[in-house]
């Protein structure tokens, strides 16, 4: 049984001015111990998709489809059932650690919360476990750091704390939503290594969201490429460079910064991002795709192109595009 099973997930936001179609029907599966990478440009619905697993979206979100976690139907779970899962079986790491920590509460108090909320330990034991965890994520002198406030930490250190917090209960799944985007490159590499190590060590599953294809292929077994609120391609991380099919992914890969270029530039594909204020019709990448056909006005389904590899593109299916280029 898969640990996470998402089927036809759709998320809309009803705001005062407009309806925002953030996620337009995605399927996603995470096996126990597996690591999934989700890549895609800003606004493609990555965060919304993963936040709907522990059902943490704001009340304005209309969520449809099915989400199963560890066999539990998350769409029908009660508030207390969800609460019992969050922070215990699902740990979350966010992009901006400064924003996701209470500025007026000590690191230690916040770190102990998952244990205390779930009655997994008393305060004394939680304190000891917290220090141990800080030590494991590489915080020097955890005893002294325990009673520090978030503003007394650097961004990289805080992200370590957030990792410690997410893993302290030994969850089955950790969701990391762009955990390194706010950090500089060297710190980013350290955090990635730490996360990967901890994941292996604890045998957890991981969903790793990122803009960065290189990072995704480094930490995950399977990569989901999202665009316009759908999954346009799913493939094993090892194959990423070799056999990608969707023109969007090809575009991303082609625009990856080279070694001789200044680092930190994001992949750039000409054209505007998808308008999320309309329901999706047809292929979301249609307007920006240089190979689009009339056929693309109707949505191409995600179809198997080879073992473990799916793409949502009419051309990919007919094998007229190899590595994103028409043959």
Ligand X SMILES: Nc1ncnc2c1ncn2[C@@H]1O[C@H](COP(=O)(O)OP(=O)(O)OP(=O)(O)O)[C@@H](O)[C@H]1O
Binding segment (CB under 6 A) for ligand X, from list 36-44, 120-128, 212-220, 301-309: 36-44
Question: Can you tell me which of 4, 9, 48, 192 binds ligand X, judged by CB under 6 A?
Answer: 48
Find the part of the chain contacting ligand X (CB under 6 A) among 41-49, 135-143, 236-244, 250-258: 41-49
Residue 77 site contact among another protein, Mg ion, ligand X, none (CB < 5 to 8 Å, cut-off depends on kind): none
For residues 172-231, which are near ligand X according to CB under 6 A?
A: 211
Q: Which does 291 bind (CB under 5 to 8 A by kind): ligand X, another protein, Mg ion, none?
A: none
Question: What strand order describes the sheet that includes 4-14?
Answer: 19-30, 4-14, 61-69, 72-73
Q: Can you tell me which of 161, 219, 276, 300 binds ligand X, judged by CB under 6 A?
A: 276
The gap from C-alpha 285 to its chain's centroid, in whole angstroms, comes to: 21
Nearest to ligand X of 64, 132 (CB atom): 64
Which residues are within 8 A (CB) of 247 and not within 5 positions of it... i.e. 6 or more apart?
285, 289, 290, 291, 313, 315, 321, 324
Q: CA 179: distance to chain centroid? A: 9
| Smallest separation, CB 109 to another protein (Å) | 8
Choices 35-43, 106-114, 153-161, 188-196 (CB under 6 A): range interacting with ligand X: 35-43
Report what 276 binds from Mg ion, another protein, ligand X, none; CB cut-off 5-8 Å by kind. ligand X
CB 207 within 8 Å of CB 245: no
Contacting ligand X (CB under 6 A), which of 1, 42, 78, 104?
42
Give bridge partners of residue 19 from the DSSP assignment: 14
Residue nearest to Mg ion (CB): 47
Using CB under 6 A as the binding rule, whether residue 100 contacts ligand X is answered as no
Asked if 51 interacts with Mg ion (CB under 5 A), we say no
Please answer whether residues 306 and 243 qualify as being in contact, where contact means their C-beta atoms are separated by less than 8 angstroms: yes
Q: Which residues bind another protein (CB under 8 A)?
A: 54, 56, 58, 83-88, 90, 92, 94, 96, 99-106, 113-114, 117-118, 149, 151-152, 165
| Euclidean distance between CA atoms 263 and 266, whole angstroms | 9
CB 100 within 8 A of CB 162: yes
Report if residue 44 touches Mg ion, rule: CB under 5 A.
Answer: no
Q: What does each C-alpha distance from 109 to 141, 142, 179, 192 come to in angstroms? A: 16, 13, 21, 25
Q: Using CB under 6 A as the criterion, which residues of the chain lie in contact with ligand X when the complex forms?
A: 13, 15, 20, 22, 40, 42-48, 58, 60, 211, 276
Q: Using CB under 5 A as the criterion, which residues of the chain lie in contact with Mg ion when the complex forms?
A: 47
């Amino acid at each position: 049984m898969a640990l996470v099973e998402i089927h036809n997930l759709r998320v809309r936001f009803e705001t005062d001015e407009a309806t925002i179609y953030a996620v337009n029907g995605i399927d996603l599966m995470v096996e126990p111990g597996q690591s999934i990478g989700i890549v895609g440009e800003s606004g493609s619905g990555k965060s919304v998709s993963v936040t709907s697993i522990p059902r943490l979206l704001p009340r304005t979100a209309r969520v449809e489809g099915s989400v199963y976690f560890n066999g539990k139907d998350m769409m029908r779970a009660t508030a207390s059932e969800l609460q019992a899962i969050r922070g215990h079986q699902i740990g979350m790491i966010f992009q901006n650690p400064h924003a996701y920590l209470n500025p007026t509460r000590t690191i230690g108090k916040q770190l102990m919360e998952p244990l205390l909320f779930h009655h997994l330990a008393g305060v004394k034991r939680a304190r000891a476990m917290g220090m141990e965890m800080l030590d494991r994520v590489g915080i020097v002198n955890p005893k002294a750091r325990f009673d520090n406030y978030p503003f007394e930490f650097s961004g990289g250190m805080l992200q370590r704390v957030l990792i410690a917090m997410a893993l302290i209960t030994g969850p089955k799944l950790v969701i990391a939503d762009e955990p390194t985007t706010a950090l500089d490159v060297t710190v980013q590499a350290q955090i990635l290594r730490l996360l990967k190590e901890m994941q292996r060590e604890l045998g957890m599953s991981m969903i790793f969201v990122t803009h960065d294809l290189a990072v995704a292929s480094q930490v995950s077994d399977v990569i989901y490429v999202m665009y316009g609120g759908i999954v346009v391609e799913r493939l094993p991380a090892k194959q990423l460079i070799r056999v990608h099919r969707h023109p969007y992914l090809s575009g991303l890969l082609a625009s990856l910064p080279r070694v001789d270029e200044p680092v930190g530039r994001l992949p750039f594909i000409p054209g505007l991002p998808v308008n999320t204020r309309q329901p999706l019709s047809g292929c979301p990448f249609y307007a920006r795709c240089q190979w689009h056909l009339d056929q693309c006005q109707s949505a191409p389904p995600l179809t198997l192109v080879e073992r473990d590899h799916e793409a949502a593109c009419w051309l990919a299916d007919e094998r007229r595009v190899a590595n994103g280029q028409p043959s």
